[in-house]
Structure 1
Amino acid sequence: MPREKGRKTIAQNRRARHDYHIDDTYEAGLVLTGTEVKSLRAGRASLVDGFALVRDGEVWLHNVHIPEYTQGTWTNHETRRPRKLLLHREEIAKLIGKTQEAGRTLIPLSLYFSDGRAKVEIALARGKREYDKRHDIAEREAQREVERALRRRR
């Protein structure tokens, strides 16, 4: 059987960039059961309420919804169980220090297969305030107006 190559995105957390200031991103492997992998290969997952915690020198992903595998039997997995993330020791040490700071959290940005292995991109982020969100929307709208005006000029 030929090995998969490249990156195949399964799920993205689009609200994350709207609700948080992204400071740093990390790629982490996931410890999954067989039915979870099969469900992900079917392209089904949701990162909406997901977050990660550092506990006892390990990073755990919580509230990520991977639905049960439809052809699964009694071996099927729990849909929102905590899943262990695989990171290098130095990265975990760095995350422990940075998540101790007030207002910092770890959130998943995307879930994907990279060369056949399930990976998650997590971000060290700070929550945005309501006026920050409004400011970002106003900036985006202004940029669209400029682009429209330039297109009309040509």
Structure 2
Amino acid sequence: MKCSTLSCTMNAIIPHKDTLFFLAGIQRNIISILNRKANVFPLYPLFAMTDQDIPGGMTGCTIGLPETEWNKAYFPVEIEYDDHCLKLSIFFARTVDGKEMPEFDLPQEIKNAFPKKERIFRTANAIFENNTWQIYDDRWIKII
């Protein structure tokens, strides 16, 4: 991750647009459940970000059931290779006041939708600057 006071550059795994729409629907559903217990707002973009290089040669990509980490909710992402696995997160919600994210029960239809195996996605460099983001050097990945 290369950051200055106004911008930050990271590597990203970007799901296919159909998966992004799917994740956005789950995001809305979970945030409506969470807002009954705490003030929660959505996080965007729905990309898995890392400061590590993302090597080629991927053999699998799996998005897991939503989880929480202190004041954030996320979808765990595993990028599989022949000899190792890269674990990332797609953060999709955060508490407004920075307090711990409340526990939540997922509806059965959400539980049944995961784990979600992805075959098509992009890798890219992402720049966050002045409350906006843009991607460049993106490459489509298709796992056979």
Normalized per residue, which structure has more strand?
2
Normalized per residue, which structure has more helix?
1
Q: From the CA coordinates, give the structure whose radius of gyration is larger.
A: 1
What TM-score, normalized by structure 1, do the two folds share?
0.33
Question: Which structure is higher in RCO with an 8 Å CA cutoff and minimum separation 6?
Answer: 1
